[in-house]
Amino acid sequence: MSDLIGHKFKSLSQQLMKSLEVSEIYFASPEQLNDPFDCQIDLRVARDLALKSQGLISTPADDARWKYLSGRLEDLLKTCGVFSLCGGQVIGPNAHLLWPHYGGSHEGVCLTYSIPDCFVIEQQIGGGSVEYTTDKVFKSITELKLDAIPTSEEMTPTIISLLTTKASAWSYEEECRMVAYKPGPQRIPKEWLIQVSFGLRVGETKRQCLMDSMRKWGYSNCIFTEVLRVDENLFGFSLNELHGNTSPR
């Protein structure tokens, strides 16, 4: 597994400033996510569809075992936390949707992180790219052994697949995720935040305020950029690196 590099589009707010000051990222619980289907897949329906997709037939004994096992899975899923990033580009094709939806209608920022794989492997349950088809989650469900009660570790691949599968309509997000053992904030080294990009509508005063604050807080390795319109395309934009004091456009 390579380092996890991704982007977090955020509105400018006091909450964001507080999290940056202490270098915290937030792992949301399933019920906090904006899509009620996200991380809250109906396990009974999922198993029925998984068996049907592979031409498999269940037995009454397996149905009873799955009822018990799915209850355990649901309990484990409720206690997990999810940190989501966009694995695409700050100014890529899908950014036209991401900036308005999550970046405060271009009045916010995009935070780019480079998170070492050892943090994901050693301190979290796991992570990876979000799947926008049901193939992986169906496969993980049918591969669970029902002749014996699996351990929590043996259920990890299924837990990860259930928490990293979304409806195809969300594919524009190109999302990647880390899954934690519990929801809530976690502190990370400030060196992992490698770039802050300002949206088209962020004014000079707000840009300078955030840059000065982050330098004071010790983000010495962070690059600051701004989104600009381009002349070559009516709807195109580019990134311009900012140095020192910014100047009005």
pTM as predicted: 0.92
pLDDT in tens, 190-205: 999 999 999 999 999 9
Instruction: Name residues whose C-beta falls within 8 Å of residue 240's C-beta, 6 or more positions apart in sequence.
Output: 225, 226, 228
> In terms of Cα–Cα distance, which of 33, 245, 56 is closest to 142?
56
Kindly list the domain boundaries of the chain, sorted by start residue.
Answer: 1-25+84-124+172-178+187-249
Give me the residue label for tokens 């990876």.
Answer: 128
Identify the three-state secondary structure at position 55. Answer: coil
Q: What is the DSSP letter of 226?
A: E
Secondary structure (DSSP) of 58-92: --HHHHHHHHHHHHHHHHHHHT-EEEEEE-S-TTS
- pLDDT over 70 (residue 249): no
| CA–CA gap between residue 198 and residue 154 (Å, rounded) | 43
Secondary structure (DSSP) of 84-117: EEE-S-TTSTTHHHHHHHHTGGGTSEEEEEEE-H
pLDDT in tens, 70-124: 999 999 999 999 999 999 999 988 999 999 999 999 999 999 999 999 999 899 9
